[in-house]
Amino acid sequence: MDLFFDPEQLLLRGQVRSWVEKNLISSVTREADIGQQARQLVSQLGHEGFTAYVASKRFGGVKEKVQARDLCIIREELARGSALADTMFAMQALGSYPITVAGSDKQKKRYLPPVARGEAIAAFALTEPQAGSDVSSMETRAVRDGDGYRLTGIKRFISNAGIAQTYTVFALTDPDKRAKGMSAFVVQADTPGFVFKENTPLLSPHPLGVIAFEDCRVPRAQLLGKEGEGLKIALATLDTLRCTVAAAAVGFAQRALEEALQYSQKRRQFGQALAQFQATQFKLADMATELEASRLLAYQAAWANDHNQKDLKQKSSMAKLFATEAAQRIVDQALQIHGGTGVVVGTPVEQLYRDVRALRIYEGTSEIQRLVIARSLL
C-alpha cells in the first residue's frame, strides 16, 4: 500500500488516526440535533487542519494542488471512527471542489479559505425531485436578469442543507440543450430567495434536506466558469471525489473487521471462542481479503487522479462500485459474527450497518457506476 503514498501522506494518516482514536472511537451518534453536531465537527476538523486539505495552498490549503490521496486518507480514517465526521469532511471537499476546478482567482480567494479553515460549511446542489441519476432531467432554471441571474427551482437530498453557508448550485441557463445547457453558481445561504425547506431524516445521522430557489437573484460574479460548463464542472468534481467514497467505505469496513476480530476472540460458545470455529475464520478471511482489494482500488484511483491518468473515470467508478458493495458485505458479516448483540441499538456494528448503506447510492449509484465502467470498456 505504501507505494501509493509519499512520506507526508503516511504522517497525515498517523495524525488523523490518533485524533480519531482520541475523539471519535466508541462514541455512537444518536442525539437528535445532527446539525449542531455537524457544525461542531466541521469546526474541530478545521482546527486540526484536516479541512485545509480540500483547498490548494494559494487559497488556504496545504499543498500546491488538492490531492485525492490526502482526501482518501482522511475519509478512511474518519469513517473508521464516525460516519458524521466523514460526511462533514467529505462535504467540505464536494461543496468546494467545483470552485477549485472552475472558479476565478477572485472567487477562490473569497470562498475557499473559510471552507478550508472549517469556518464556512459547503454544499453541492445537483439532485432534484425529477433529476437523480438522470441529471439531464434537471428543471432548475437560471434566467439572465440584468448583470446577474434569477434562479428558480427545487433541490432535494442536499447534504448540509440548512447548515451550509456556501452552496455550489447547478441550474439550466439554456434549457433546450438539457444537461449541456447547465451552468454552475456559488450561492450564499443568506441570498434573498434562497429558501431552506426541510430536513430529510436518514437511516444514519447525516444532515440532509430540501432547498428551493424562489426568484433568487445572484450576480454574474457568482457564475463558475462559463455558461454551459455546469455539467463539465460537476463531472470533473465527481470524477475526482468518487474514489474518496470508496475510501470511506474502506474505513467503515476496517472498523467492522476490527469489531468482528475482537468479538470473535472474546465470545465463547460450545466451550471455545467463536474465532476457533473454522466457519468464523473463513468469514474473517473473506472480509479481510475484500477489504484489502477495496483499499487497493481506492488508492489506485486516487493515485490516477493525482497523476492525471486518462483512465481516471473508469478507475474511480470501479473503486466506488467495488468498495461500497464489499463494505456492505463486510459489515453484514461482522454483524452476523456478533449474533443478537449485533442488532442491539448502540453497538458499533449496528451503527455501521446503518452508516454504510447510503454509500452505494450517493455520488452515483452502483448501477450508474456499472454503466460508466461498461461505457469505458465498449
* Closer CB to ligand FAD, 157 or 353, in the complex: 157
Segment lying near ligand FAD (by CB under 6 A), choices 56-64, 112-120, 311-319, 357-365: 357-365
Does 124 contact ligand FAD by CB under 6 A? Answer: yes
* Closer CB to ligand FAD, 138 or 337, in the complex: 138
Work out how close the CB of 141 gets to ligand FAD at its nearest, in angstroms, rounded to a whole number: 17
Member of 154, 235, 296, 368 binding ligand FAD (CB under 6 A): 368
The one-letter amino acid code at 6 reads: D
Does 206 contact ligand FAD by CB under 6 A? Answer: yes
What residue ranges in the chain does DSSP mark as E strands? Answer: 122-125, 141-145, 148-159, 166-172, 182-188, 194-199, 208-219, 223-224, 268-269, 272-273
The values of phi and psi at residue 96, to 5°, are -100, -20
The one-letter amino acid code at 162 reads: G
Contact 92, 137 (CB under 8 A): no
Work out how close the CB of 303 gets to ligand FAD at its nearest, in angstroms, rounded to a whole number: 25
Segment lying near ligand FAD (by CB under 6 A), choices 26-34, 48-56, 344-352, 356-364: 356-364
Does 362 contact ligand FAD by CB under 6 A? Answer: yes
Residue with C-alpha cell 472474546? Answer: 266
| 363 catalytic residue (yes or no) | yes
Record the cell numbers describing residue 154, joined without a space.
427545487
Task: Return the residue nearest ligand FAD (CB atom).
Answer: 132
Member of 127, 173, 317, 369 binding ligand FAD (CB under 6 A): 127
Does 29 contact ligand FAD by CB under 6 A? Answer: no
Contact 263, 274 (CB under 8 A): yes
Site for ligand FAD in 272-311 (CB under 6 A): none
Rounded to an integer, what distance in angstroms lies between the CA atom of residue 254 and that of residue 262? 12
Work out how close the CB of 261 gets to ligand FAD at its nearest, in angstroms, rounded to a whole number: 28
Contact 98, 124 (CB under 8 A): yes
> On the CB side of 166, how many CA atoms lie within 13 Å of its CA?
25
Work out how close the CB of 68 gets to ligand FAD at its nearest, in angstroms, rounded to a whole number: 18
Contact 356, 325 (CB under 8 A): no
Rounded to an integer, what distance in angstroms lies between the CA atom of residue 312 and that of residue 297? 11
Member of 85, 126, 169, 330 binding ligand FAD (CB under 6 A): 126
Residue 1's H or E segment, with its range, is none
Work out how close the CB of 124 gets to ligand FAD at its nearest, in angstroms, rounded to a whole number: 5
* Closer CB to ligand FAD, 34 or 275, in the complex: 34
* Closer CB to ligand FAD, 13 or 206, in the complex: 206
Q: What is the DSSP letter of 56?
A: B
Rounded to an integer, what distance in angstroms lies between the CA atom of residue 148 and that of residue 307? 37
Does 125 contact ligand FAD by CB under 6 A? Answer: yes
Does 208 contact ligand FAD by CB under 6 A? Answer: yes
Of 66, 127, 69, which is closest to residue 244 (Cα–Cα)? 69
The active-site residue out of 77, 259, 350, 363 is 363
Work out how close the CB of 77 gets to ligand FAD at its nearest, in angstroms, rounded to a whole number: 20
Segment lying near ligand FAD (by CB under 6 A), choices 70-78, 220-228, 262-270, 355-363: 355-363
DSSP 313-364: HHHHHHHHHHHHHHHHHHHHHHHHHTGGGGGSTTSHHHHHHHHTGGGGTTTS
Segment lying near ligand FAD (by CB under 6 A), choices 180-188, 216-224, 323-331, 361-369: 361-369
Does 367 contact ligand FAD by CB under 6 A? Answer: yes
Residue 31's H or E segment, with its range, is none
Does 228 contact ligand FAD by CB under 6 A? Answer: no
Does 157 contact ligand FAD by CB under 6 A? Answer: yes
**180 CB neighbour count, 10 Å cutoff:** 14
Catalytic residue numbers read 363
Residues that bind ligand FAD (CB under 6 A): 124-127, 132-133, 157-159, 202, 206, 208, 358, 361-363, 365, 367-368
